[in-house]
Amino acid sequence: EAGVAQSPRYKIIEKRQSVAFWCNPISGHATLYWYQQILGQGPKLLIQFQNNGVVDDSQLPKDRFSAERLKGVDSTLKIQPAKLEDSAVYLCASSLIETISRHGYTFGSGTRLTVV
Amino acid sequence: AQTVTQSQPEMSVQEAETVTLSCTYDTSESDYYLFWYKQPPSRQMILVIRQEAYKQQNATENRFSVNFQKAAKSFSLKISDSQLGDAAMYFCAYRTNYGGSQGNLIFGKGTKLSVKP
């Protein structure tokens, strides 16, 4: 099966600019996650979707970050305006509800964002 | 809130030797899952092994095995017969089993493993 697709792979922007990341999960995976991984740290959950509904966005900085998952498939994560501290790798992951605990999640290769 | 601690920022092992990566966690829950993920330079997180808290038997996957000590809240990963391809960042992760599918993964800071030829 195809994996979790993310684009772009790299992005460099100036502070105060806006940026968007795209994620296409594995077909049929109802649950989709966005994680932020700052250099030297483990990934931290930003938002979790189940189908096209938000399950958990408690750690999403809502003043500048937004995310949507239209039709319960693809998802986009947007930052506007970006700050220097937003420099990180943004990982998307998906899973089947039925096998989430047995198989964990399938992760994409992430987008590395550099804010200058 | 649950936390995961990996106290070894970096580890090194000789090819074909055995290495153990440490992980401790803090939780008041009794039903949860623990995972080890590998992250090579490609950045994709790859599941190495998982452990269900209600199972006393330690999980094994080929050259990878865990030492799960529930009372001590310890979950170490042992890699036997280390290979050059094992070099990567390794993350320990916790997931609650409460709330069904709503639990997300909580990661430690990772351990960078180097394998010397």
Check if B52 contacts A (Cβ < 8 Å): yes
- Closest partner residue to B104 among A41, A56, A97, by Cβ? A56
User: Is the pLDDT score of A36 beyond 70?
Assistant: yes
Interface probe for B, chosen from A34, A37, A38 (most Cβ of B below 10 Å), is A37
**Mean predicted confidence (pLDDT) in A53-58:** 91
Task: Express each pLDDT in B44-100 by its tens digit.
Answer: 899 999 999 988 899 999 999 999 999 999 999 999 999 999 999 999 999 887 765
In terms of C-beta distances under 8 Å and separation of at least 24 residues, what long-range contacts does A35-38 make, across chains too? A35/A90, A35/A91, A35/A92, A35/A93, A36/A88, A36/A89, A36/A90, A36/A91, A37/A88, A37/A89, A37/A90, A37/A91, A37/A110, A38/A87, A38/A88
Q: What is the pLDDT of residue A91?
A: 97
User: Is the pLDDT score of B102 beyond 80?
Assistant: no
Q: What is the pLDDT of residue B107?
A: 96
User: Is the pLDDT score of A47 beyond 70?
Assistant: yes
**Mean predicted confidence (pLDDT) in A88-103:** 80
Task: Express each pLDDT in B25-37 by its tens digit.
Answer: 999 988 889 999 9
Q: What is the pLDDT of residue B89?
A: 97
Q: Does the distance separating the beta carbons of A89 and B42 come in below 8 Å? A: no
A81 or A97: which leads in pLDDT: A81
User: Is the pLDDT score of A102 beyond 70?
Assistant: no
Give the chain A residue nearest B105 (alpha carbons): A45
- Residue type at position B110: G
Residues of A in contact with B102 (CB under 8 A): 48, 50, 55-56
- Closest partner residue to A91 among B45, B50, B93, by Cβ? B45
Q: Does the distance separating the beta carbons of A43 and B91 come in below 8 Å? A: yes
Check if B93 contacts A (Cβ < 8 Å): yes
pLDDT classification of A30: cutoffs 50, 70, 90: confident
A1-10, A51-60, B99-108: range with lowest mean pLDDT: B99-108
User: Is the pLDDT score of B101 beyond 90?
Assistant: no
- Closest partner residue to A55 among B102, B107, B110, by Cβ? B102
Give the chain B residue nearest A55 (alpha carbons): B102
Task: Express each pLDDT in B7-24 by its tens digit.
Answer: 999 999 999 999 999 999
Q: Where are the beta strands (DSSP E) in A8-86?
A: 10-13, 19-24, 31-37, 44-50, 53-56, 65-68, 75-79
Q: Does the distance separating the beta carbons of A109 and B104 come in below 8 Å? A: no
User: Is the pLDDT score of A37 beyond 80?
Assistant: yes
Q: What is the pLDDT of residue A99?
A: 63
Task: Express each pLDDT in A72-85 by its tens digit.
Answer: 899 999 999 999 99
Q: Does the distance separating the beta carbons of A43 and B97 come in below 8 Å? A: no
Backbone angles phi, psi at A52, to 5 degrees: -105, 15
